[in-house]
Amino acid sequence: MSNELPGDPADPQQAQNASTAISNLIVRLLSEYTGRGPRKARTYMSDDVISVVVRDTLTKGEQSLVREGHEDHVLATRELYQRTMRAAIVEGVEEITGRKVIAFLSANHLDPDLGVETMIMEPRQSDRGTETTADAG
């Protein structure tokens, strides 16, 4: 596994290819696991963070539940889907990027109908020891 994230400024075409492949992966997996994929997905890649924003993700059944006031149930179900998909998402992103995913975070929002899948990647060898931290005090 290489430590370079496709998307380094040196090769913008490689970045675009990786971004498209990750968006397609997330759309495919959401469709397989929930019965309906999002209508839009966009991948953002920066240093050690990859985030995929998905739009218009809810199934007709979930939309009905939201209209009837069962937002908590829909969000809980979506969280279960995301936990179940975690291994497939991580494996796919690692295969596309050639880097190890060290954390996976996922969340949904109902109005507007949005979701985000975020992967934190293992730092590149060249970046280790150069991170800056903010003083919380």
pTM, two decimal places: 0.83
Query: pLDDT class for 133, splitting at 50, 70, 90?
Result: low
Q: List the chain domain ranges.
A: 12-121
Q: What SS3 state is found at 112?
A: coil
Phi/psi for 43 (5° steps) reads -100, 135
Cα-based angle 85, 26, 80 (whole degrees, multiple of 5): 30
For 12-121, CATH number out of 3.30.390, 3.30.420, 1.20.120, 3.30.980 equals 3.30.980
Rg (CA), the chain: 16
The pLDDT tens digits for 84-124 are: 999 999 999 999 999 999 999 999 999 999 999 999 999 98
